[in-house]
């Protein structure tokens, strides 16, 4: 993960770095090509909202959370377009309930609920040149995970070298309160779905492949997502 300098000054936003592909390691091309068949099975139609949050509802939904380890601050919803608030939408799909679908073109993440419905979350996604698509699964989950910058990031931003051994979890950690790690064929793909405190990043392409949700949305998705959950990333 690397931090986007666009959100410097305490609001660090994680990005995925592209490592050199070596033995036993996935690269972006193998991840994309290995998933083509999985995407072919996806059948989706246009989505229609069943109603969104009012301002007052959003204030409550994105309010402060008393987490076991660290307090979670309220989201400044004035920095979030209301179309990205969490809501239930019509989303016909052949995928099983619980499946996660990431739509980077529209900056949304969907959790299939069944009966043609899905929970929809606003997201930040990969910036131009770092977009990818394919099929993966949640290989592991972590609460307040440690963040370790890859050597490629340290080479570009030497100030990150102080975290070469890992930055402990906490409110200032780029991965945030909860993270879902995406795997393919038993190997970590280097992509995650993580929680961001940078409200203004939602609806933008700013990462190097990771997908970020507002922390309160990530708490909701994380709690309902077991390991081995299928994840589909649509072409942008």
| Local structure of 44: helix, strand or coil | strand
pTM comes to 0.79
> 181-235: per-residue pLDDT in tens?
999 999 998 899 999 999 999 999 988 779 999 999 999 999 999 999 999 999 9
Cβ atoms of 56 and 82 within 8 Å: the answer is no
The pair of three-digit structure tokens given for residue 112, joined into one six-digit string: 């299939």
122 Cβ contact partners less than 8 Å away, ≥ 6 residues apart = 80, 81, 83, 84, 85, 86, 107, 108, 202, 203, 213, 214, 217
> 151-161: per-residue pLDDT in tens?
877 887 898 89
pLDDT value of residue 132: 82
> 86-140: per-residue pLDDT in tens?
999 999 999 999 999 999 999 999 999 999 999 999 999 988 766 788 999 999 9
């Amino acid at each position: 993960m690397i931090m986007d300098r666009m959100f410097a000054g305490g609001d660090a936003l994680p990005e995925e770095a592209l490592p050199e592909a070596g033995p036993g390691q996935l690269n972006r091309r193998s991840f994309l090509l290995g998933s083509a068949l999985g995407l072919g099975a996806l059948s989706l139609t246009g989505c229609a909202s069943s109603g969104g949050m009012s301002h007052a509802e959003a204030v409550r939904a994105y309010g402060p959370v008393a987490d076991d380890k660290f307090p979670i601050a309220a989201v400044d919803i004035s920095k979030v377009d209301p179309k990205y608030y969490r809501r239930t939408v019509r989303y016909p799909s052949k995928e099983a309930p619980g499946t996660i679908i990431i739509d980077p073109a529209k900056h949304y993440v969907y959790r299939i609920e069944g009966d043609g419905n899905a929970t929809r979350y606003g997201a930040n996604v990969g910036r131009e040149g770092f977009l990818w698509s394919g099929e993966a699964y949640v290989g592991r989950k972590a609460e307040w995970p440690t963040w370790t910058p890859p050597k490629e990031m340290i080479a570009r931003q030497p100030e990150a070298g102080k975290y070469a051994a890992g930055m402990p979890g906490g409110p200032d950690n780029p991965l945030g309160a909860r993270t879902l790690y995406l795997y393919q064929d038993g190997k970590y793909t280097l992509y995650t779905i993580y929680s961001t405190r940078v409200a203004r990043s939602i609806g933008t392409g700013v990462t190097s492949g990771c997908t970020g949700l507002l922390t309160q949305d990530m708490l909701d998705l994380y709690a309902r997502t077991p390991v081995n959950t299928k994840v589909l990333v649509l072409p942008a």
